[in-house]
A = this chain, B = another copy of it.
Amino acid sequence: MLEEKNMQTLDLKSPYLEKRNKLVIVCSKGSLDMAYPPLMLATTGAAMGMEVDLYFTFWGINMVRKKSVDSMKVSPVGNPAMSMPNILGMIPGMTRLATRMMNKKMEGMKMPSIKEMIKTAHEAGVHFHACSPSMTMMNLTKEDLIPEVDDIIGATTYLDLASDNAITLFV
């Protein structure tokens, strides 16, 4: 029996057969289109039983800022995938139009808004962390952030979370 145990142990030489169960995403963008992917992955991960942490830094702070969470925008310029000539994208009102189009699309798919996704993710146990130096840079305090934000942390705490064998992504 001892031998058997040892055999089992030796198999562990490939411990990677075991699945990772943690997801840590850096959210660094402040546009509507790049707000969806991390939130979709976060809620899916939480639903799968994963521990999920989101770290909002730089422009990503806008995703958890009271003032901007409900008015995130898509830029019609600088993104060739939108197939809109830059000269048109410059016209005042085009950012609003592109944003309204994406919001309509999302509604049509019965996709919740960013604010609703954040609420759902939070209820599912996703942790929301705001980056401390980014807060300073933007002159923000905790009062400027939505209540779903659990804490304000620095890069050390983020790296500690990431080093815990998490799936790591920088969005």
A residues sitting closer than 8 Å to B (CB atoms) are: 2-3, 5-6, 8-10, 12-16, 18-21, 23, 25-26, 28-34, 36-37, 40-41, 44-45, 47-48, 50, 57-59, 62, 68, 72-82, 85-87, 89-92, 94-95, 99, 105-106, 109, 111, 133, 136-137, 154-156, 158-160, 162-171
Shortest CB-to-CB span from A115 to chain B, Å, is: 16
A41 touches B95 (CB 8 A): no
B167 touches A169 (CB 8 A): no
Chain B residues within 8 Å of A75, by CB: 77-80, 86
Extra 6 A-B pairs, beta carbons < 8 Å, given A37-B57, A109-B133, A109-B136: A9-B10, A25-B170, A28-B171, A41-B159, A77-B77, A166-B167
Q: Assembly of this chain: how many copies? A: 3
B79 touches A31 (CB 8 A): yes
Chain B residues within 8 Å of A47, by CB: 156
Given A159-B50, A170-B170: A77 in contact with B80 (beta carbons within 8 A): no
A164 touches B19 (CB 8 A): yes
